[in-house]
Amino acid sequence: MYPKDLRYSSEHEWVRVEDGRVRVGITRFAADRLTDVVFVELPAVGAKVTFMQPFGVVESVKAVSDLYAPLSGTVVEVNPALVDSPEVVNSDPYGKGWMIVVQPDDLGELERLMPVDQYLVAIGEAAP
């Protein structure tokens, strides 16, 4: 449910470090709370994103939610599959449901994100 090799934000995004870049998506917890994702609005390649500032929007049948950047940097890839199959955010949030890849300004910013055990406590799925 919550891979150990990822780091997590308080706004329920995950990041995976891949050769100095980071891949970003939303957690199983967020996907379950949203339910039935039907539309994802993402920035264009080249856009700047800022730590804990909105970078996009995810819409479920019922509601609209902002996506918050888990770190600052430049968008270098956007998941094209989400245009026609946004439901993969629900079915495979850590795989096919990824959202953007960012070239971070400062990888040190990752220290501001939570390891999995801390995130589980934050969402009430583990005892503090």
Binding site for another protein (CB under 8 A): 35-36, 38-39, 41, 57, 59, 61-62, 64, 83-86
Q: How far is the CB of 22 from another protein (least distance, A)?
A: 25
d(CA 51, CA 69): 5
Q: How far is the CB of 62 from another protein (least distance, A)?
A: 6
Give the nearer residue to another protein in terms of CB position, either 18 or 84: 84
d(CA 128, CA 126): 6
Closest by CA position to 102, among listed 3, 23, 15, 11: 23
Give the nearer residue to another protein in terms of CB position, either 34 or 113: 34
Give the nearer residue to another protein in terms of CB position, either 27 or 71: 27
| DSSP letter assigned to residue 122 | H
- Helix/strand/coil for 15: strand
Q: How far is the CB of 39 from another protein (least distance, A)?
A: 4
